Structure 1
Amino acid sequence: MKHVLIIHEVEDYNAWKNIFDKAAAMRKEAGEISYQVLKYENEPTKIVHFSVWTSFENAKNFFESEKLVQIRKEAGVKSPNFIYLEQLEAGIL
């Protein structure tokens, strides 16, 4: 499985989440299969978006597109850090 971990600071979580939710169909069409949104324990504006994608190519094409760069600006995203990860193993204990 192909995973993308995005760590970014947002100006306002509720404003960011509204735009994030509106982009769900766009993300799905681009190849996002599932996602989790998390926050740092003591930093409510530091958001982690962890998602599973059909391919790294699809994820990179989506996240690096001019349209998404503009959407991130509108959502108040500051300095996103993209980490592309390939799953080696998973389990439930």
Structure 2
Amino acid sequence: MKYVLIIHEVADYDAWKKVFDNAATIRKEAGEVSYQVLKYENKPNQIVHFSVWTSHENAKNFFESPKLVQIRENAGVKAPHFIYLDELESGIL
């Protein structure tokens, strides 16, 4: 599995979340396996989307597609920062 961390500010969380939820099917079809949505402690519109993907190639194709660029603009996303990650180790303490 491959991981993607996206950090971005949104104009309005509730409006962004509605668009995010409505895109669940296309995210799954593109290769997203699971996700977490987090926010900064004192910045409710600073969102972190952490997700597991079938491949980095699938994730990049999805996130860089013109369709998704337009969806992000419509959702009020400001300057997303994408980080593609490979797991080195995990554990439970």
Task: Please state which band the TM-score falls in when normalised by the shorter chain.
Answer: over 0.9
User: What SS does structure 1 have at the residue aligned with 2:88?
Assistant: coil
The aligned counterpart of 1:91 is 91
SS where residue 26 of structure 1 aligns?
helix
Which whole-Å CA distance do the structure 2 matches of 1:2 and 1:55 have between them?
A: 5
SS of the counterpart of 2:17?
A: helix
Over the aligned positions, Cα root-mean-square deviation in angstroms equals: 0.4
Q: What residue in structure 2 maps to residue 81 of structure 1?
A: 81
Where does structure 1 differ by over 4 angstroms across 4 or more consecutive aligned residues? Answer: none
Count of aligned pairs: 93
AA of the residue aligned to 1:74:
N
Tell me the TM-score normalised to structure 2 length.
Answer: 0.99
Q: CA separation in 1, counterparts of 2:36 and 2:91?
A: 17
Q: Secondary structure at the match of 1:44?
A: strand
Deviation readout 1:6-35 (Å, 9 max, x if unpaired): 000000000000000000000000000000
- Secondary structure at the aligned position of 1:88 is classed as coil
Q: What is residue 38 of structure 2 aligned with on the other side?
A: 38
Aligned to 2:61: 61
TM-score between both structures, scaled by the size of structure 1 = 0.99
Deviation at 1:90, TM superposition (A): 0.7
**Matched residue type, 2:78:** K
Q: Unaligned stretches of 5+ in structure 1?
A: none
Aligned equivalents of 2:91, 2:68: Cα separation in 1: 33
Equivalent residue for 1:11? 11
Identity of aligned residues (%): 77
